[in-house]
Structure 1
Amino acid sequence: MLCLALWALHLLARHVTYHEIRHYVEGVSRQRLVLAIALTTLGFGVMSLYDRFGLAAIGKSLPWRRVTLISFISYAFSNAVGMSLLVSGSIRYRFYLQNGLSTTEIAKLVLYCTLSFWLGLLALTGVTLLIVPLPSGLPMSDWRITIASVMTAIPLAWILGGFIRHPLTLWRWQVRLPKPMTAVRQVAVGALDWWLAAAVMYVLMPDRLNAGFGHFLAIFVIAQIAGLISHVPGGLGVFEAVMLAGFGASGNEHLAASILGSLAMFRIVYYLMPLCAATVLVLQRETHNLRRHLWPPWFSGLLPPFFAGLTLVSGAVLLFSGATKALPDRMAILRSVLPLSVLEVSHLLASVIGMLLLILARGLQRRLDAAYWVTLILLVAGAVFSLLKGIDYEEAIFLGVLALALMPAHRLFYRRASLFSTHFSPGWIVAILAVFGCAAWLVFFSYKHVEYSNSLWWEFSFHQGGAPRALRALVAAAAAGLLFALASLIRPQDPRRAPPSGAELERAWPLIRRYRSAQGHLALMGDKHLLFAPGDRAFLMYDIEGRSWVSLGDPVGEDDDARRELVWSFMEQCERAGGWPVFYQVSPADLDLYLEIGLTLLKIGEEARVPLAAFNLDGKSKKTLRGTLNRLGREGLRLEVVPASAVTPLLPRLEAISDAWLAAKRTREKRFSLGAFDPRYLVRTSMALVWQGERLLAFANLFLTETK
């Protein structure tokens, strides 16, 4: 979709030059810019109503400042990145989970906000299209009334559905529609949000547009819908192409240049500036927490993906800068103080660093220590080369500020894994290719007036060297990406997974004995694979069922860093093998381990626990238990606990009891999380035996640790 959008944009703006667009951007008046910023601020204030009304709808209440902050950060990132449901939903999930909301409540809130977002867009689009005719050049102009009627009917039906008192049944689920006033608020807030977004861009549009706000609004909402449906990050290219087509700018290069300039300003004001503001807010919180030596789990978990996103943006900035023309007055200054060779090398290296930052962003998301240090070095180097290649102080400041913000966050990047072992998901690969594709398009767009020849590759000049420098930088960046991909492909493969050997079980035994949970004893069954942390500081046990890699319980070990690294290593193994990581029967104390890697919590069943230290048979509620115990005593039954060393002679009798029990229950050994009769497993555990005279009636193996 991105390639098609860029191709369409290229056709629509084939007569427009980069200089014309830049000239319009630099000529936007201060009054218009201030008004656009004010409308953007008001728009994000309206967006916070999504969350405030959503919390009220699910019966929850949080301080309005906290809700506004969460809403602003989530929408600042989702608007800039795209995929609003995924991005804003994941940010809300992390924030609201730490503010006392359950997984179900957060899911309801995200659904409420998403529905409000789309219902408002459909309502505004439908009403606008019913009133305002579309230009005949648009494909949907002939179907305007039909499309508008359908779009208007959907939010109207949603509001009227609130009068239905009983829940609706959809397949196996029952859905209770919101009350009419709740639905009206959803539609109204969503429509106002989109109206303000359109107003921001309208004040930035050129005077020669000669279009009223209603006509502009119709084309704006259609372009936004096209961008959202395309799933291209931020609707980049798709939104611009529809706007150009809607205003008939294809044959008018001056109008097309003005519209593209206003679109660039709109993205700066409505997308980039809120993203930078959200960045400042998060960094301010980071600095505050560092002074207090306090890192809340939710905030520590948010920062690495946050820095990864900013690093990705930094790489894109360097690539885009290397693909466009430098300002003539700045080049004149460089020509008087720098040799040409320094300029050429700086331009080349800046683009290479841009590509490497795109790759390193994934390592930061994975919390790799090596990625942290290399990123820090490259950000500083990128800032220096930005100044040397064109006095691009704007980029240098951005990269420098990010480097300064990253410096105190070293503790968050604790993993000692190799950069080349990082798995790149399809989404990450597409993101990197999309950024590089946009940079390539910018090269051809910026220098469309330069006729290609082989001699361009060997042309070095202050005056006419822009196109050759951009081409060489683009190829160098591509080469850097390909070399990294090749190095990753030839890395050693994961060893073949096999049942644990006796030696591996011996390595696990000391960890099992010292761990706070006795569940680690199930590793001794030998039916699960074992994954050890470096230095045998921790291990986890898992089995594979189809595409699901199921880890039983939490990592076993006392070293928290090793346990955290194991969770990451396990997930990366799953990704390399195309599997789905699943952690089964985890403890509440370790939930941050799994939220950190982006997993979703799902509560399955319940577990009964008896506090043995305070347990007794006193009181009326224990009457039945006392009666059972007394009856068994009269029948001559007694309980004996024997150590593991005394289990081997009893194995034949224990096996007979186990087989008889399985036959009576008409079942088989469950294994995995429930255990099984395996002599190698049973001889390592103490045993509780029930005797009647000399006859052994029942047994249960006991999981004992040094503390339990």
Structure 2
Amino acid sequence: MEHETRTELPSTDQTQARRALHIALLRRAGGPLLSAVLLCLALWALHAMASEVTYRQIAGYVHTLPNTDIGLAVLLTGAGYAVMTLYDWFGLASIGRRLPPRRVGLISFISYAFSNALGMSLLISGSIRYRFYVQAGLSTGEIGRVVLYTTMSFWLGLAALTGCTLLLVPIPPDVPLSGLRIPLAIVLVLVPLAWFAVSLTVRRPLRVWRWNVSAPTPIVAARQILVGALDWGLAAGVLYVLMPEAIAGGFGHFLAIFVVAQMAGLISHVPGGLGVFEAVMLAGFGATGNQGLEAPILGSLAAYRLVYYLLPLCVATVMVIWREVRALRHAAMVSPWFSSLLPPFFAGLTLVCGAVLLFSGATLAIPGRMEILRGFVPLPLVEVSHFLSSVVGMLLLILARGLQRRLDAAYVLTLVLLILGAIFSLLKGIDYEEATLLSLLALALAPAHRYFHRRASLFRASFSPGWMLAIGAVLACSTWLVFFSFKHVEYSNNLWWEFSFHHGGAPRALRALVGATAVVMLVALANLIRPARPRRAMPGEAEFARAMPLIKQFDSAQAHLALVGDKMLMFAPGDSAFIMYDIEGRSWVAMGDPVGKDEEARRELVWTFRENCERAGGWPLFYQVRPQDLDLYLDVGMNLLKIGEEARVRLDQFNLDGKSKKTLRGTVNKLSRDGLRMEIVPIEGVPALLPRLKAISDAWMRDKKVREKRFSLGLFDERYLCRTPMAVVWQGEEPVAFANVFVTETKEEASVDLMRHLPEGPSGIMDFLFIELMVWAKAEGYRWFNLGMAPLSGLQNRRTAPLWSRFGAMVFGRGERFYNFRGLHRYKDKFDPEWEPRYIAVPGGIALPLALANVASLISGGLGGVVRR
């Protein structure tokens, strides 16, 4: 309503907003770019330090590892993942929640198996925990506290173990940070000691980055430090038993190098610390008099990756697949959290399978298997299979993004490519291990078609910096593997055209690498050729005619805002739903939820809207979305911020009885005696009234010293006002107030938009109009009357609340000089409404201040309107 929602967001300085944009862009692009640089440096260092090592020597060491060592490494891995469950168990205990140990163990194991193998631990493990714990009945705040507890335990344990080890054990001078060993050790040891000291002395919440954290008890702090240290100690033990005997004598020196390497890998943000961890380990042991052991060390590191990362990932995959099979047999077991977890789960596995194919194509095939293959497979077929297996691997990396976006085409192509990849793996070198992995994933993916329901084009899927980094990292590692595996082969131009069973490994790897690189370059080129920024094409009568049936059948009367004509309309196929939106700066702001009854069409429209924004380099925002539709935005990975509450009056309980309604009752009775009456003018009668109503509107605007707003409310426009009925208050034969009325055919909700009155009109005229409208709507059989939103109401200012909530609560309580937030809430509250939260959905990592400034600019008709009435 015009006089109530003129400014729904605090004003933001344009210079500060632009600065926030630059910082956000730098943070978004700088992190992946730095990780890519560190990965390249690590691969270069590995190549330099292992210059005398051949791929066959490394593979030979792995094959000669004793079964007892491998079995002990597996046992230690199991113990390590069992200890990881204590993170969640004690985290739940810290917030006073208890879950069955079996469920906690399942949640912890699956989250850590995926995050350890794929990297991006906070994102992956946090999202998996969110899906599981929501199903278990935990609130978002409780889940956030558990994730914070586990993250702090993880780092406290690493800091304690690393600091103590560096204090007690010297490290070689060639290891990174060796010159700062003592200062670094002291700092790291002080971190857990300070945390423990806090638990003994402080009882107030502590500020940790963006969160306020309750000070732990001494027992809780000790648990965090000890569990984290034990976790890292067991991880070190897995690698220690796989190391060659020549350097296995001193666990202290080994542990010092291990923890430094792990910390370097974590700081680099390279997925799984791939390359960085190996480079530091090789540098550390190569500098301790272990020259000549580079091949065994690299072999033990490869075995460690298989045992500690890949094996748990395979077990977690089997567990989720088993859960999927059970769900197929018992449909009732399929729950929303599981349905939303499966697409990113299959995307992650597809990414792993693509990497396996690329790494396999970059290395030498096992000679014995090639000899067997020579007896019944023609050489041309082997060459083609080797080349195509790498192409399939790169395509799987790219299609993984489509699976995450739930694209039907990505599902079909991935299924086909997994089968082809398994066949090519057998034909190029009898790699039955790869073929088995690909076949198992294809079998698991086959019955999951219903989770990939989107019919959008594959070419519309955009790639985030994280995805580009993951694909680039795999390609970079594959390139390094090619040159490392065949460093003994002298390069010549004829090498590209050499075909042989026994001496064709290097040519095949080079050709396969070129094929994979060509695929990724073509996809990158297709993504660079983006459509131009769309022109503002406001809807005409044809678009309004398409939208009107959806508006009338929608359960929210606010869908009538599409008729204002100041927002573009995006329709779903078959006109089964639409989104109204406008563009300000980089922000594509949708007003409200998608309008329509078809839930699948609404869900697909949210995906389409986001993809269109990303292709144009914009930010998708959904403003004033309702609680019942939050899953639409969580499904596409958007974040939700509460921006206020909407007041809705339940009409079957509305009356003017009781002491609390005495003032309203008196106002209505007095104005009725003075001759005021309300009339609902149908649409066909509105045009004739508009000249008289225009005079009221102009007088109201002059008196209030305001100008027309837009976007989230209407304006005095004859074409718009002629599309809705009009409530007019008459005093005798003269109109003194009016409001255009939003009504739906479903009788679910009625509301108003533009409300204006003569400044010299009777006191209480707006109360009179509201009450008469509610009485009329109740008589007509409507269930609810919507009074509109009270911005920033209902936000919490507690220490544990998010930063945005605390800021909004502060503005709500102290921002009266800018906008009457409290007064608006009090005014609506006297009608005894039910308050329902409203949110804004935003993608993660955007410059939030600028996005909010763009929304305010849209509502106010420009940045100048944000600071002027």
- Specify the TM-score bucket, using the shorter chain as the normaliser: over 0.9
Aligned position for 2:423: 384
Aligned position for 1:65: 102
- Give the TM-score normalised by structure 1: 0.96
Aligned position for 2:821: none
Q: Cα distance 1:349–1:128, how it changes in 2: closer, same or farther (>3 A)? A: same
**Residue type of the partner of 2:42?**
A
How far did 1:474 drift?
Answer: 1.1
Q: Deviations over 1:125-174 (max 9, x none)?
A: 11111111222333533432221111101111112122123345799986
**Residue type of the partner of 1:566?**
L
Q: Does 1:566 align with 2:618?
A: no
Distance 1:451 1:308 in 2: 39
Alignment of 1:350-361 (within 5 A): 350-361=389-400
Q: List gaps (5 residues or longer) in structure 1.
A: none
Alignment of 1:486-635 (within 5 A): 486-490=525-529, 495-635=534-674
Q: Does 1:54 align with 2:91?
A: yes
Distance 2:236 2:261 in 1: 11
Distance 2:208 2:279 in 1: 39
Contact 1:12 1:250 in 2 (8 A): no
Aligned position for 1:204: 242
Q: Does 1:238 align with 2:284?
A: no
**Residue type of the partner of 1:334?**
L
Aligned position for 2:372: 333
Alignment of 1:614-693 (within 5 A): 614-693=653-732
Matching residue within 230, 243, 267 for 1:192? 230
How far did 1:100 drift?
Answer: 3.1
Q: Cα distance 1:167–1:329, how it changes in 2: closer, same or farther (>3 A)? A: closer
SS at match of 1:146: helix
Distance 1:445 1:632 in 2: 90
Contact 2:172 2:287 in 1 (8 A): no
Distance 2:211 2:513 in 1: 53
Comparing 499-508 and 452-461, the one that deviates more = 499-508
How far did 1:61 drift?
Answer: 3.4
* Amino-acid identity (%): 69
Contact 1:13 1:250 in 2 (8 A): no
Alignment of 1:115-126 (within 5 A): 115-126=152-163
How far did 1:526 drift?
Answer: 1.1
Contact 2:531 2:615 in 1 (8 A): no
SS at match of 1:688: strand
Q: List gaps (5 residues or longer) in structure 2.
A: 1-37, 748-869
Distance 1:665 1:95 in 2: 52
How far did 1:181 drift?
Answer: 2.6
Alignment of 1:223-234 (within 5 A): 223-234=261-272
SS at match of 2:293: helix
Q: Cα distance 1:305–1:253, how it changes in 2: closer, same or farther (>3 A)? A: same
How far did 1:408 drift?
Answer: 0.8
Aligned position for 2:39: 2
How far did 1:691 drift?
Answer: 2.0
Contact 2:163 2:185 in 1 (8 A): yes
Distance 1:515 1:501 in 2: 21
Contact 1:51 1:113 in 2 (8 A): yes
Matching residue within 203, 216, 228 for 1:165? 203
Matching residue within 516, 520, 540 for 1:477? 516
Comparing 663-672 and 144-153, the one that deviates more = 663-672
Distance 1:187 1:202 in 2: 22
**Residue type of the partner of 2:167?**
L
**Residue type of the partner of 1:153?**
L
SS at match of 2:52: coil
Comparing 105-114 and 320-329, the one that deviates more = 105-114
Distance 1:600 1:101 in 2: 18
Contact 1:420 1:491 in 2 (8 A): no
How far did 1:272 drift?
Answer: 0.8
Q: Does 1:265 align with 2:303?
A: yes
**Paired residue total:** 708
Q: Cα distance 1:663–1:103, how it changes in 2: closer, same or farther (>3 A)? A: farther
**Residue type of the partner of 2:128?**
I
SS at match of 1:703: strand
Matching residue within 283, 292, 306 for 2:321? 283
SS at match of 1:684: coil
Q: Does 1:15 align with 2:52?
A: yes
SS at match of 1:610: strand
Q: Cα distance 1:667–1:134, how it changes in 2: closer, same or farther (>3 A)? A: same
- Give the TM-score normalised by structure 2: 0.78
Aligned position for 2:496: 457
The CA RMSD over aligned residues, in Å, is 2.1
Matching residue within 428, 431, 434 for 2:467? 428
Q: Cα distance 1:543–1:506, how it changes in 2: closer, same or farther (>3 A)? A: same
SS at match of 1:299: helix
Q: Does 1:213 align with 2:254?
A: no
**Residue type of the partner of 1:473?**
A
Distance 1:444 1:34 in 2: 32
Q: Cα distance 1:493–1:293, how it changes in 2: closer, same or farther (>3 A)? A: farther
Distance 1:55 1:676 in 2: 51
Q: Cα distance 1:355–1:129, how it changes in 2: closer, same or farther (>3 A)? A: same
SS at match of 1:691: strand
**Residue type of the partner of 1:185?**
R
Distance 2:546 2:170 in 1: 75
Distance 2:95 2:734 in 1: 60
How far did 1:251 drift?
Answer: 7.9
Q: Cα distance 1:674–1:144, how it changes in 2: closer, same or farther (>3 A)? A: same
How far did 1:39 drift?
Answer: 1.6
Aligned position for 1:222: 260
Q: Deviations over 1:590-620 (max 9, x none)?
A: 2211111101122221112111133333445
Q: Deviations over 1:448-479 (max 9, x none)?
A: 11111111111111111111111111112222
Contact 1:250 1:256 in 2 (8 A): no
Q: Does 1:149 align with 2:211?
A: no
**Residue type of the partner of 2:573?**
P
Contact 1:209 1:255 in 2 (8 A): no
Contact 1:13 1:253 in 2 (8 A): no
Distance 2:595 2:554 in 1: 6
Q: Cα distance 1:482–1:510, how it changes in 2: closer, same or farther (>3 A)? A: same
Q: Cα distance 1:126–1:492, how it changes in 2: closer, same or farther (>3 A)? A: closer
Distance 1:153 1:631 in 2: 73
Q: Cα distance 1:210–1:368, how it changes in 2: closer, same or farther (>3 A)? A: closer
Q: Cα distance 1:202–1:516, how it changes in 2: closer, same or farther (>3 A)? A: same
Contact 1:249 1:255 in 2 (8 A): no
Q: Cα distance 1:174–1:192, how it changes in 2: closer, same or farther (>3 A)? A: closer
Distance 1:616 1:632 in 2: 18
Contact 2:158 2:229 in 1 (8 A): yes
**Residue type of the partner of 1:42?**
A
Distance 2:386 2:216 in 1: 57
Q: Does 1:274 align with 2:274?
A: no
Alignment of 1:398-417 (within 5 A): 398-417=437-456
Q: Does 1:110 align with 2:183?
A: no
Contact 1:350 1:386 in 2 (8 A): yes
**Residue type of the partner of 1:110?**
V
How far did 1:486 drift?
Answer: 3.6
Q: Does 1:306 align with 2:345?
A: yes
Q: Cα distance 1:573–1:459, how it changes in 2: closer, same or farther (>3 A)? A: same
Aligned position for 1:77: 114
SS at match of 1:288: helix
